[in-house]
Chain A
Amino acid sequence: MNKLRNSQLWQLILANARELLREPAVLFWGIGFPILMSLGLGVAFTKKKDVTVTIAVIGRNHLIHAPSDSVSVIQTFLLRNKAILKVGKDGSISRELTVPDEKLGGTKYIFSDMSWKKAMVMLKRGNLNLVMDESGSQIQYHFDPMNPDAQLTYLKFSKLMKDPDLIIRESETEIRPLNVTGTRYIDFLVPGLICMGVMMACMWGVSYDIIEKRSKKLLRRMIATPMKRSNFLVALITVRIAMNFVESGLLFLVASLVFHITIQGSVPALILFFLSGNIAFAGIAVFLSCNTAKTEIGNGLINLISMPMMVLSGIFFSYHNFPGWSIPAIQKFPLTMMADGVRSIFIEGAGFGEIMLPALIMLVIGVAFFTAGLKLFKWH
């Protein structure tokens, strides 16, 4: 027992753990921040909120006149459905109509009377979803075909115009929303956040820490002893990985309490896979920091590595939105590999069989970078 406590690896681990736990900022950024982020994004994307769409109606006073005055289809529609008339401070006239929908979230339509010129200005500013022109013999819809939001508004609204009873009918019966655990955005997001947290923790907690210690000439004093060099790095990494387990565990705990996230696949497989992902990033982090004593350079290197992966690896949205030719490359990033694997266990119920290969690849990446980093490591 005493022998263990006196061993240099154990004392190095203790020193690193103490240093970490005695730094409150580290705890906030490591634990508090990811949880807050998951809560914020989770709430923002999970609650199906009522959407508001704005439709410009071209033509003179279409909205205010009685239906008998003309044959305006829109007027007829709006009045029949008791759309509320609103007059703005500047004299602008609009009508509001809310179509409730339990399953998909309601839609609030705002119809504004305006000139073609003004409509174009508002469209360019992104304040308009759709422009309706009834000056011809039939209704014309104008919108940007590249804008899916505008398309959706068009489809929804034109359907409503053809079948106004939809407003009164509860909702469309053939729609069955998939609110099952595993298919929501939050189910996609949390595994990604966990992996991103591991990457950032390794970059700052290992790379930056090493560079800072080197620049403060702390490493120099340590290697002027019989300390085994690899022990120093192994201790740093061990503490970091242990901390990552705690941080990710807490994030998962909060997400499971708030959003009822579950792990559908094998938990032991998840632990193994998570560990090998940690080793991959820890190895990369050691390699990244092996040479420089300038914290500014460290900063740059960390951003250079982590920024592209954060954007491309499908943490916040699926990387399948990127062009097809880039996807095979994206899938080779360590963060993509880790996020895909963790997600497959969380959501798709994967087990050892599915994650063995990527786990092994990440392990090899980690060990290779670590070894190279240790070889090239500058102690002062």
Chain B
Amino acid sequence: MKQEAIIQVKNVHKSFKSVHAVRGIDLEILPSQFIALLGPNGAGKTTLVEMIEGIQKPDKGEILITGKPWKGNEKELRRIIGLSLQETRFIDKLRLFETLRLFASFFGLGAERCEEVMNLVGLEEKRQAYVVNLSGGQRQRLALGVALLNKPRILLLDEPTTGLDPQARREVWMILKKLKDASATSLILTTHYMEEAEQLCDYIVIMDHGTILKEGTLHDLLGKSSAYIEEKQEYKGPPRNLDELFIELTGRHLNE
């Protein structure tokens, strides 16, 4: 039996004045699937994710969450989605715990859930700290915590580990792995780190210039790409890892 997709993206386009940021993307995400969106700067990852989040509207195409469009279902869909934006700012003069309380209240949740989340993202020590005084990495973890407050069925994280030290990054991975084991949450995550995609996600989508260059499981991607290179008649053997594949596909490094 084919599983019903929880997110369906159908031929979606989005332009900003002269920039055609997303040009015809199709994507389906199944329940409890973890998907990584990989792509260099300006590939259109944030634009795509924000359209799925209902923050931006596509110019063309359709996005369905649990089979429903954003229009007319916003109230319902907001309840099952947790997200962190690429640039997240919170109110500077609020303390960390107060910030969690505020966002929890939007979901009708109380202090108890805030305690849980605070422990989950390892910020107990910073409970009383003002948001403005948190380090970049601590702020990222707060953003993750806010995204997890409502135990979302769909989690959308835009570069959740950019700017974290390797240790903190591993901690975020641990949190997300635990989440995968314990619940049926689906995740879309954008990243510049191959390792992150390899470690966490069952399905990898490589984007550039607003289109999908290649998608599949890690195994698929590394297997199939040799054929692609054969077409160009410059066979160098199959790429050993995502990094090599990525450079072959886009002609650039991911972290540029």
Chain A residues within CB distance 8 Å of chain B? 2, 5-8, 10-12, 14-15, 18-19, 22-23, 216-218, 220-222, 224-227, 380
Contact = CB atoms under 8 A, between A and B. Distances in A.
A10 B90 CA distance: 18
Contact of A15 (B75, B85, B91): B91
B89 interface: yes
Contact of B87 (A6, A217, A225): A217
A222 B94 CA distance: 14
Interface in B53-94: 53-55, 75, 78-79, 81, 83, 85, 87-91, 93-94
Q: How large is the interface on B (under 10, 10 to 19, 20 to 34, 35 or more residues)?
A: 20 to 34
A218 B90 contact: yes
Given A2-B110, A218-B90, A380-B55, A15 B102 contact: yes
A6 B98 CA distance: 12
Contact of A226 (B79, B89, B90): B79
A221 B90 contact: yes
A222 B106 CA distance: 9
A146 B190 CA distance: 76
Say whether chain A's binding surface is mostly helix, strand, loop, or mixed.
helix
Among A6, A23, A225, max chain B CB count under 10 A is at: A225
Nearest to B101: A11
A10 B105 contact: yes
Interface string B3-31: 00000000000000000000000000000
Given A8-B106, A11-B104, A18-B98, 9 more contacts: A2-B110, A11-B101, A11-B102, A15-B102, A18-B93, A18-B94, A224-B53, A224-B83, A224-B85
Contacts of A14: 98, 102
- Which 4 pairs across A and B sit closest by C-beta, in order of nearness? A11-B105, A225-B106, A227-B106, A8-B105
B198 to A, nearest CB: 29
B103 interface: yes
Given A8-B106, A225-B107, A19 B94 contact: yes
21 contacts: A8-B108, A11-B102, A11-B104, A12-B102, A14-B102, A15-B91, A15-B102, A18-B93, A18-B98, A19-B94, A23-B93, A218-B89, A218-B90, A221-B85, A221-B88, A224-B53, A224-B81, A224-B85, A225-B106, A226-B75, A226-B106
